[in-house]
Amino acid sequence: MAELINVIIADDHALVLSGIKNYLEKESRIKVVGEANNGLTLLNLLSKSNPLPHLVIIDLKMPILSGEEAVERIIKLYPNLKILILSMDADIPTIAKLFNIGIHGYITKADPPENLIQAVFDIIDTGICKNSYFDLQLESDNCFSNTKNIKSTLNYNEFEYIRLCAQGLSYKHIAEGMNKSIKTVENYRDSVYKKLSINNQKSLLLFANNERIL
């Protein structure tokens, strides 16, 4: 049996919060382990969580501490925690900013419910939800202006890591594809991030897309 995906949800509307929880828990792989109605409560929940959940689902417009402010703090405090934004808004600059900060997926409350489940699975299984919102922000900015010099610093294994990562593979499957240990793959990741001056998978995928490393 696959490992349970532990999730915390943050939304300031009680009916929405309850509906999201009930829908998620129809899936046998997903368990909602916490609920918050604002960003501050979410941070308090996380500080008391041992272990941390695999994923947090966050609404952007919440009282006391907004979702965007909570995201910024979470990424600093818990850099390995996966973040999915579930919002009313589909504002491209906001979406692009959040992906650049380091979120792993974005959907809106107007999307079909099944998109939420798919986003959760995509983020857990591949590290990123590459849906239409990801594509929109990918087209909105280009942070690599001198790719020729950057590419010349990468070795074969680092290129291979980028190529497999761009296919949406998990670290486990990347390690199997490269015939390396997961620890070695993580070392490739750290080296690539340093050379590209990035700190999240979204930026890596942007580089791979720009350079057609597929």
- 86-106 pLDDT per residue, tens: 988 777 778 878 888 888 999
Mean pLDDT by runs of 10 across the 214 residues of the chain is 86 92 92 95 95 95 91 91 88 79 88 91 86 63 55 85 84 89 91 84 75 70
Q: Which pLDDT score, from 0 to 100, does residue 31 have?
A: 94
Q: What is the pLDDT of residue 40?
A: 95
Omega of the bond leading into 113 within 30 degrees of 0 (cis): no
Q: Which H or E element spans position 161? A: helix 156-166
- At 163 the pLDDT is 86
CB-based contact 57:46 (threshold 8 Å): no
CA distance 192 to 123: 21
pLDDT of residue 79: 86
- Predicted confidence at residue 54, as pLDDT, reads 95
SS3 15: helix
pLDDT at 47: 95
Phi, psi of 11 (to 5 degrees): -155, 140
Domains annotated on the chain, with CATH: 5-140 (3.40.50.2300), 147-210 (1.10.10.10)
